[in-house]
Chains A and B, each alone.
Chain A
Amino acid sequence: MFLSDQFRVKVGLAEMLKGGVIMDVTNAEQAVIAEKAGACAVMALVKVPSDIRKEGGVARMSPVSKIREIQKSVSVPVMAKARIGHFMEARVLEALEVDFIDESEVLTPADEENHIWKHDFKVPFVCGARNLGEALRRIAEGAAMIRTKGEAGSGNIVEAVRHMRTIVKEMRAIQSYSVDELTAESKKHGAPLELMLYIHEHGKLPVPNFSAGGVATPADAALVMHLGAETVFVGSGIFKSPDPAAFAKAVVKAVTYYKDPVKVLEASEELPDGMPGLDIRQMAESDLMATRGW
C-alpha cells in the first residue's frame, strides 16, 4: 500500500512543501497576501481557528464558492479542511481538485470514533497528531503528511512544542529497543507493528512531519523547525496579527533561515507583538481542539 504509485505521488507533494510555510486563509484576498509573502501553499477554511473558538457552534468545510475563488486567485497548492471522519466533505473537496485535504480537529468532528479511510482517495491527506501512536494510526489510514496538532487559535506555542518533542522522543526510544520488544511497543502505542519497524529502522516517520497549532511569531516558527518540524502551518498567527502581510513575510524568512538567529532577528525587526494569546492551563477541557480525534 505504501509503495504504490498513488501513495508515492501523495507523499511527493508533501515533500515539495518542505522548508516552507502553509497559511490558513478564508478568502481570495487573504490567499493573495499569503502567496505574495512567499507561502508555499494555502489552507482554505471557513474561519481562522481563533474565530472558530470565539464564535462557537459547528465549524464545517469551507463553502465551495470560497474554495473556488481561492483556487482561481493563486498558483500555489490549495489545501482545504474537512471534519474528522466526514468522508463526504472529503469527496467533495477531492471533486473540487483541492491539492491536499486536512482532516482537521479545528473543525467540529463528524465522527467521534472513526477517521477517514484515506487510502481510497486520489487526493493526499494531512492529519494532526499529539504523539507517535496517533501519527502512525493516521499514516496507517493513508495520511501522506502528519502535522503536530498544537492548540489551534491559541497563539500559544506550548502545545506544538509538547507534541513535536513527544513524537521525536518516542521515535528515539523506539530506535533504542531491540526488534523483539517492538510488538509490545506497538501494543502500547496502539500503532501497527509494520510502522513501528519502519521507525525502528529509520528513526523518522515514513511521511513528512510538519508543525501546527499556536505559531504566532517568526521565532515560534524557527523554534518548531529546530525541534524537528519540516514545514510550518500558520493559522490565526498571520491574519489575526496586527500586520498580516508583514507577519507572513517574516515567518517565511524565519523558516528558511531557522538555523541562523541573525536572520530570524532580521525577520522579526520592526514587527509589533503577535496576535493575542491564550493560557492553555486556564482553558476548559471542552475548549481544547487537540483532544478531538485520537
Chain B
Amino acid sequence: MRIGILAIQGNFEAHAKAFAEAGAEACEARTQSDLDRADALVLPGGESTTMLKLLREEGLWEPLRRACAAKPVFATCAGAILLACEVSHPAQESLGLVDIGVERNAYGRQVHSTVARLATGEGAELEAVFIRAPVIRRLGAGVRVLARYQGDPVLVEQGHFLVATFHPELTPDRTLQKMFLEKAAHVAA
C-alpha cells in the first residue's frame, strides 16, 4: 500500500514516519503524478490557507479533488478543513468532499492548544494532540462519529474518508494509522 502524503506545507514528515512505522510505504506528494501514483492519500496538518494558495497556483486543486474523490483519504486538522463542505472563521474555499462544516481555530489561539485523552468505542483511550484545531460544527447524514472531545466530534468517517481534527502523527500510538490502512485495503478489495 503506497500512501501519498500531500507535502505542500505542514507536518507531512511526521505522517510519513508514522505510516512507515505502521508498515506502509509512505511518499511525499507535491505533483499530479505523485497523486496519481499513490494508492491512498494523507492530507496533513499545517496552514490550510498556505496549502490552498499553493494548490491553486500550481494547478493541483482539481487533480487533488479527483484523487481524493477516488482514493481512501486520511485527513488531519488542516486536512479536515480542506475536505469539508463549509469552512468558517473565516470562510474559505474547500474541496467539499466530506459532508461536514468546520470552524477554523475554534478553540482559540496557541495558548489554548492541548493534549486530551479520548474515550473510543472499545474502552480504549486515545491520546489526541490539538493544535489551533478546528471544530466540526455540522455533521451530514452520512458521517459517522468515532470519537468526541468536550461533546464535539473530533474523529469522523464518511465512506472512504477518515477525518481527525487532532494530530495522531504527533503521538507514538499507531492505532489510527493501522485503522486507516485496514480501511484502505478494504476499499481496494
Determine if B122 is an interface residue (Cβ-Cβ < 8 Å): no
Take A16-B45, A40-B46 as given contacts and tell me if A97 and B30 are in contact as well, using a CB distance cutoff of 8 Å: no
In the bound complex, what is the Cα–Cα distance between A17 and B76 (angstroms)? 15
Contact across chains for B54 and A97 when beta carbons are under 8 A apart: no
Take A18-B10, A97-B111 as given contacts and tell me if A40 and B54 are in contact as well, using a CB distance cutoff of 8 Å: no
Contact across chains for B47 and A9 when beta carbons are under 8 A apart: no
Stretch at the interface among B18-26, B102-110, B149-157: B102-110
Determine if A38 is an interface residue (Cβ-Cβ < 8 Å): yes
Contact across chains for B9 and A256 when beta carbons are under 8 A apart: yes
In the bound complex, what is the Cα–Cα distance between A92 and B16 (angstroms)? 38
Take A252-B54, A256-B54 as given contacts and tell me if A16 and B49 are in contact as well, using a CB distance cutoff of 8 Å: no
- Using C-beta atoms within 8 Å of the partner chain, give the interface range for chain B: 35 or more
Shortest distance between the CB of B33 and any CB in chain A (Å): 13
Contact across chains for B129 and A75 when beta carbons are under 8 A apart: no
Contact across chains for B8 and A9 when beta carbons are under 8 A apart: no
Take A12-B170, A39-B50, A252-B54 as given contacts and tell me if A18 and B13 are in contact as well, using a CB distance cutoff of 8 Å: yes
Contact across chains for A15 and B47 when beta carbons are under 8 A apart: no
In the bound complex, what is the Cα–Cα distance between A142 and B10 (angstroms)? 22
Q: Which residues of B contact A16 (CB under 8 A)?
A: 10-11, 45-47, 77-78, 131-132
In the bound complex, what is the Cα–Cα distance between A20 and B11 (angstroms)? 10
In the bound complex, what is the Cα–Cα distance between A35 and B30 (angstroms)? 21
Contact across chains for A20 and B57 when beta carbons are under 8 A apart: no
Contact across chains for A256 and B47 when beta carbons are under 8 A apart: no
Take A18-B13, A257-B30 as given contacts and tell me if A75 and B115 are in contact as well, using a CB distance cutoff of 8 Å: no
Q: Among residues 18 to 71 in chain B, which have CB atoms less than 8 Å away from a CB atom of chain A?
A: 30, 45-47, 49-50, 53-54, 57-58
In the bound complex, what is the Cα–Cα distance between A249 and B54 (angstroms)? 9
Q: Which residues of B contact A35 (CB under 8 A)?
A: 49
Contact across chains for B11 and A15 when beta carbons are under 8 A apart: yes
| A residues lining the B interface (CB < 8 Å) | 5, 8-9, 12-13, 15-20, 35-41, 75-78, 94, 97-100, 122-124, 249, 252-253, 256-257
| B residues lining the A interface (CB < 8 Å) | 7-14, 30, 45-47, 49-50, 53-54, 57-58, 77-78, 89-90, 104-105, 108-111, 113-115, 129-132, 167, 170
24 cross-chain CB contacts under 8 A: A9-B114, A9-B130, A13-B110, A15-B14, A15-B170, A16-B45, A18-B10, A18-B46, A35-B49, A37-B53, A38-B9, A38-B53, A39-B50, A76-B47, A76-B50, A77-B47, A94-B111, A97-B108, A97-B110, A98-B109, A99-B110, A123-B110, A249-B57, A256-B8
